[in-house]
Structure formats: C-alpha cells, structure tokens
Amino acid sequence: MSADTPRTAGYSRKRRGVWIAVAIVIAVIAIVVFHLLNRTPAKNGVPAQVVSVAAAHQGDMPEIINSLGTVTPLATVTVLPQLSGYLTEVGYQEGQDVKKGQFLAQIDPRQYQISKQQAEAQLAKDQATLDQARTDLARYTQLYQKKSIAEQTYMDQKFLVEQSEAAVKADKANIAQFDLDLAYCHIIAPVDGRVGLRLVDPGNYVTPSSSTGIVVITTMKPTTAQFTVPQNSLSKVLDRVNGGAKLPVTLYNSDNSKQVATGTLYAVSNQMATSTGTVTLRASFPNDDEKLYPNEFVNVQLLVDTLHNAVLVPTPAVQTGAPGDYVFLVNADDTVSVQKVTLGPSNGKYTAILSGLSIGQTVVTDGTDRLSDGAKIRIAQARPAAAGSAGAPASSSTAGAPHGSGKRKHSAGADAGSTSSAS
C-alpha cells in the first residue's frame, strides 16, 4: 500500500481552504442580501401643523342685506314762473329754509292790474245791459200775457236777457283770471324745504317757458334713501313686509366707517330691473340732525330677519372649494377632517351654519391653508367663543361690516390655497 506524497497532501489542504473561504463569502453575501430585503424603510416624519381653533357656539344671527343707496328727498321742486313779466324782487336768501306759502319772488303786476280794471269796466257795462234787458223782458211779459205783442218779440227779448247774463259771467271769469295772474305775480314756496342758489336775478324778464326756473326747493327732513336688492333676496323681504313687519334700515357713510341714520322700509318698487336683476326699495328717515344730504351715496343695511339659537362659527373657519362650503373639523386624535356645511347669514365676524355642524364641535380658524383631510395638527391657542357673543352684532362695530367681509376661501384639500372675499 502506497502512501500520499507530501506534495499531494499540501494540494488537498489548499483546496479545502479555498472552499471554506468561498462558503464564508457566500454566507456573508446572503446575510447582507437578507437584511437589505427585509429591513423596514425609515419613515420621514411629517410635523403637525400649528393651528388656531374655536368651538361652534349658539347665538342669534341677523339676516342683513347690504346695498349701496342714494339719499332721495321727498320733494325737489323747481319753482317756475306761471306768467311773463319782469322780476322785481327776490324775498329769500340762498340756502335758507322756507315754509310752504312763504314769499319767494315778485313779478311786476302792473299790466295785470290794468287788465283787471278793464275787465271790471266791461263787467259794469254788461251788467247794465243785462239790467235793461231784464226790465224790458218784464214789460214784454205783461204785454204778451195780454196778447198785446207778438210771441216772437217776447221770445227775442228773453234770449237777449240770456245773452246778457252770459256776457256778465264771462266778465266775472276774466276778473277771476286776472286775480289769479296777480296771485301768480307773488311767487310763494309750494313746499317746506331749503332753497338752493338763486337762478334768476331781479330785473330779468321771466316767462313760463324758462326751464331753469327761479329757484329749486328741496325737502331736507324727513327724507328717504333708495337702494336695490337682488331678486333672490326679494321674496323674503316681501314676506316680511306683507306680514306687516316694519323692517329696520341703517345707513352708514360712504366709506362704511360711521353710522349716520336709522329708519324703516316703507316702499317696494312694482317692477324688477331686467338689466340688473334687482328691485328698488325706499326707506324713510326723520333726518332731524340733517346728516343725510340729498343725492349723497350711503351704505345701506336692511335687517330682514334674525335667526335665533343658530350654530355660529368664526367666519375665517369657513372655506370654499371643490367640496363646496366646508370647515376643518378637529378630531379627538389631533387630526382634522373636511366637514361640508350649509351656510346661513354672516355679520362679518361670525357665520351661521344651517347644517353640517353641531354646537360644541371644534373647527380650525387659522392655518387652514396648510391643511388637508386627515392632517395632524397642534393647537397653538384654543379660543372657545362665549355663547351668544355674536347674538346681537347690530350693536357692535362688526355689524357695520358688509355681509361676509373677512371670509377666507381656499381650494378644498389643497396644501396651499388662494384667498378671496365672500359676498
């Protein structure tokens, strides 16, 4: 039996070492691959968004229609001369308040006085003729009864008396006309009001065809304001008016910074303007302080009705986008969800929610532009509103804001949205 040579034995040991090294490398590779395939991917943490919230609360919300209006006086009268003549006197000062029947101006009356005297003379003449005709008729009547004159003579005299009577009536009418002309020479104020700037100076010859007139009188108090409402809001206004309600109307100055008058609605126009889809309304105001000036532009707030015990949320919480009107509702796990709602009236600071939200539920009021459905949040400052804090906004400064002012609207579900003003 032959034994292995030293060379053969060394070759075998070297071969075994190679296989062991290969096995170790394969094992290492397998372990690395196994860990690479089965490791859990690292999660990128999304930080919670910092937001402000408020709780929906119960309160009263007025239904207000905002509009742009114009102060319209009850009467604006251009005083025109009713006959021709020279203007001899002006009895008012520019900008003066006058009463109905107060003297304003005088037209030279002399020509009308002369004409009246002529008419009176003609009346005297015709009256004498009538008296003579009546005397003759009395004599002819006696003769006719005795058959002493022809019937034709008697009838002619009777007709002559009637003609004389008609002439006397015409003369009296002429005198009455000249009396009226003399009254027209003395021009008086037809209404209470304030006179404007003088349009004609004394010494000018005026005629009834003068389009400018002598002066313009405008009634200052009481006064009215005209404004329009859209046709979609008209039905509720008519329901309230036809039910006998006196709808309050509040006026603010042109920049909507100060309340200037309060009054009531008293007239609704009988036609809709087809070009604008609006109808004109008119409200009356005492205007004792004369803060309302004719033809002045004002901002009008018409209080149609008041929603009692409504669900109210701060207006910035209301969003508008693809789902429609919605709010971000805060969940118990510090996430938010999109909650569709039906909006009611708003006073600028608060908005009434007709459906979709309950009293006590919390909504996001600030930071909504960074939110989406299911996003995690962190509340910076909770601001639960006291119940009824918006119940009577008419007495607060926010009541003067236009309907829906300050409302921010964003695209639904978007992380970054644009804002716009709601009307």
**Domains of the chain, CATH where assigned:** 50-61+307-400 (2.40.420.20), 67-74+219-306 (2.40.30.170), 76-217 (2.40.50.100)
Q: Minimal CA–CA distance to 364: which of 347, 352, 376?
A: 376
CA atoms within 13 A on the CB side of 26: 6
Cα distance between residue 91 and residue 102, in whole Å: 9
Residue 122's alpha-carbon distances to 67, 114, 171, 174, in angstroms, are 65, 13, 7, 10
φ, ψ of residue 232 to 5 degrees: the values are -70, -25
pLDDT in tens, 42-83: 445 568 888 999 999 999 999 999 999 999 999 999 999 999
Q: How many helices (H) and strands (E) does the chain have?
A: 4, 22
The burial class, CB within 10 Å (0-12 / 13-18 / 19+), for 292 is buried
Core vs surface per residue 297-335: b (16+ CB within 10 A) or e:
ebbbbbbbbebeebbbbbbbbbbbeeeebbbbbbeeeeb
Cα distance between residue 292 and residue 252, in whole Å: 10
DSSP labels, 288-355: TT--S-TT-EEEEEEEEEEEEEEEEEEGGG-EEETTEEEEEEEPTTSBEEEEE-EEEEE-SSEEEEEE
Q: Which two tokens stand for residue 378?
A: 């962190």
Q: Are 318 and 343 in contact (CB under 8 A)?
A: yes
Helix (H, G, I), strand (E, B) or coil at 269: strand
49-55 and 377-382 as β-strands: parallel, antiparallel, unpaired? parallel
Beta strands in 96-140 (DSSP E): 97-98, 103-107
The burial class, CB within 10 Å (0-12 / 13-18 / 19+), for 359 is middle
Which residue is it, tokens 């034994």?
3
Cα distance between residue 381 and residue 57, in whole Å: 17
Q: Which helix (H) or strand (E) holds 114?
A: helix 110-145
Q: Minimal CA–CA distance to 302: which of 219, 221, 241, 223?
A: 241
Q: Minimal CA–CA distance to 409: which of 311, 325, 323?
A: 325
Residue type, 177: Q
Cα distance between residue 36 and residue 28, in whole Å: 12
φ, ψ of residue 260 to 5 degrees: the values are -115, -20
pLDDT, residue 45, reads: 55
Q: Minimal CA–CA distance to 63: which of 180, 233, 193, 227?
A: 233
Contacting residues for 102 by C-beta, under 8 A, at least 6 apart: 91, 92, 188, 189
pLDDT, residue 10, reads: 59
Give the residues across from 59 on adjacent strands.
Answer: 310
Low-confidence spans in the chain with pLDDT less than 50: 1-3, 42-43, 385-423
Beta strands in 6-75 (DSSP E): 49-55, 57-73
193-195 and 49-55 as β-strands: parallel, antiparallel, unpaired? unpaired
Core vs surface per residue 9-36: b (16+ CB within 10 A) or e:
eeeeeeeeeeeeeeeeeeeeeeeeeeee
Q: Minimal CA–CA distance to 314: which of 262, 368, 272?
A: 368
